[in-house]
Amino acid sequence: MLKLIKITAISNQLTKMKIKITSNNGETFSAYLKAPTSRPAPGLIIIQEIFGVNEVMRNIADKYAQAGYVAIVPDLFWRQEANIELTDRSESDWQKAFELYQNFDENKGVDDLISTMKTLKELPECTGKIGSIGFCLGGKLAYLMATRSQAECNVSYYGVGIEKNLDEATNIQNPLMLHLAEKDEYVSPEIQSQLKIELSNYPLVTIHSYPNVNHGFARIEGKDYNLEATNLAQNRTMEFFQKYLD
């Protein structure tokens, strides 16, 4: 069940809109959606970092729409503060982002992502095939989508806290790709080693490591952005989506 709020044509090639999604308890939350004109197309859920649905997340959705996917970015902080947009460029934004992160309920977040997936499947623009891609907090949630949802495939960029839910890996039924930043200050080398060892038992899981880069290496214009690692990860991700969604 969804409500369209605004629809805008973009260069006669893409359509963007803000929609309302009904949660499993009947409340609604917003999402940014961008769709290509070549439809129907596979759906892709872009899962936010701790900074909310900001320009970075919308730009990622725009790029995947240009690549031929119906891309949607749900606002997962709506229970705390709806429509918040933060950056990694100020101390006050970092403090606010960590406050939101620390009070975030991951289980409800996954429920909201599953509600988003159901909504996306209902859209005539979508083929019904759905994948997810998440960054930071969203990287953890992309892993949980692999363990708790029927999404066709999922991609995690520098997900934080995956080790706390490794017991759920037995539930993975569809392909999952993890991108790890070897200098990630939030995911220690010991934890990265643990992930590689324990998830190596699951043939549906692929893990790529990127040396000499920090958490957030794919955040364009972010303080830790690394072009080379971003391009390599992006190429691997696109091949992955083309294989399992197209």
Catalytic residues: 184, 215
Please choose, from the candidates 177, 219, 214, the residue with its C-alpha nearest in 3D space to the C-alpha of residue 195.
177
For 139, the token pair is 């990287």
Neighbours of 95 (CB within 10 A): 11
Burial of 66 from C-beta contacts in 10 A (0-12 / 13-18 / 19+) = middle
Element (H, E) at 153: strand 153-157
Please choose, from the candidates 152, 184, 150, the residue with its C-alpha nearest in 3D space to the C-alpha of residue 162.
184
